[in-house]
Amino acid sequence: MLDRFLYYCVALPWSVMPLWLIYLLSDVFYLVIRFVVPYRKKVVLENIKNSFPDLSDTEHKKIAKKFYKYFSNLFAESIKNLTISEKNLRKRLTVKNPEIMEDLRREGRDVLFLSSHYNNWEFLINGQSLLFNFQAIGIGMPLSNKFWDEKLNARRERFGMKVVNSNNYREVLSSYSDSLTATLILNDQSPGKNENCYWCTFLGQETAFYFGAEIMANQMDAAVVNAIIHKKKRGYYELELELITKDPKSEEYGAITNKYVDALEKAIIDQPEYWLWSHKRWKKGVPENLSELKANHKKRFLEKFRS
């Protein structure tokens, strides 16, 4: 009952307000999550300190302060995203180099479209189908709350995106066999079992990444494009695309994931406040048998896709 009240009586009415007015509410939200009830303060500072060990405590706190300001803006924009018009969204999310996707479209290639929780990924989920002439598919982790999961995904799909999860993406992709697809994966979430992870150095730390995108690229023989979301000004963003590969089957083991990780790391180092530091990215810890895990992971990949 509370979920329905919050959605219909709070979130949706706020969403129809002008964004500048929602920003005023988010400014209050910023004060609350930073000073009144600090939102995951320990996680935020620990992540920042571990990622930038050469910076001083003062500099760590400065990044954290900017992060909370960004997070409050993201809150406002995510609320607006529930009912934002197509015209408004097209103004707020543009592409710096759309020719990369246009060329792949002309070549008749399906695309794995990688991005991350950097700047406003919700605008990207909502607007991907407006930006590129592909059937947009988004693979995500379902929310534990089924009501919010259904409502948010319905809003995300209203411009043409099809939201799926890891359990049914194959079935959905097969249903679009007559269309070119661009499948969005936010590849910087914390993955599951250690043995299925790809371990690499990220922000100076041994980090586990999902490897599903690299496996899917080889299964589908799909081109892989990475998208970094840059902030132009408050509420306005630009996608910068990078073609990772057109021929995944010719790439060495881990090359696709490494290129994605390197691009994300560069973006974070350039403007660290725009990444989701409140996410428990390193909660897994480094396993004692890491070398063995890495060797077995590589062996399984090579046997399946390169033998």
Residues 6+ apart with CB under 8 A from 20: none
Q: What are phi and psi of 27, to 5 degrees?
A: -65, -35
**Structure tokens given for 38:** 């600090």
Mean pLDDT of the chain: 95
HEC assignment per residue over the chain: CHHHHHHHHHHHHHHCCCHHHHHHHHHHHHHHHHHHCCCCHHHHHHHHHHHCCCCCHHHHHHHHHHHHHHHHHHHHHHHHHCCCCHHHHHHHEEECCCHHHHHHHHCCCCEEEEECCECCHHHHHHHHHHHCCCEEEEEECCCCCHHHHHHHHHHHCCCCCEEEECCCHHHHHHHCCCCCEEEEEECCCCCCCHHHCEEEEECCEEEEECCHHHHHHHHHCCEEEEEEEEEEECCEEEEEEEEEECCHHHCCCCHHHHHHHHHHHHHHHHCHHHECCCCCCCCCCCCCCHHHHHHHHHHHHHHHHCC
Q: What is the pLDDT of residue 143?
A: 83
pLDDT in tens, the chain (307 residues): 899 999 999 999 999 999 999 999 999 999 999 999 999 999 999 999 999 999 999 999 999 999 999 999 999 999 999 999 999 999 999 999 999 999 999 999 999 999 999 999 999 999 999 999 999 999 988 888 999 999 999 999 999 999 998 777 888 888 998 899 999 999 998 888 888 999 999 999 999 999 999 999 999 999 999 999 999 999 999 999 999 999 999 999 999 999 999 999 999 999 999 999 999 999 888 999 999 999 999 999 999 999 8
Q: Convert the pLDDT of each residue in 147-203 to its tens digit.
A: 999 999 999 999 999 999 877 788 888 899 889 999 999 999 888 888 899 999 999
Task: Give Cβ neighbours of residue 66 (< 8 Å, ≥ 6 apart).
Answer: 273
| pTM (2 d.p.) | 0.95
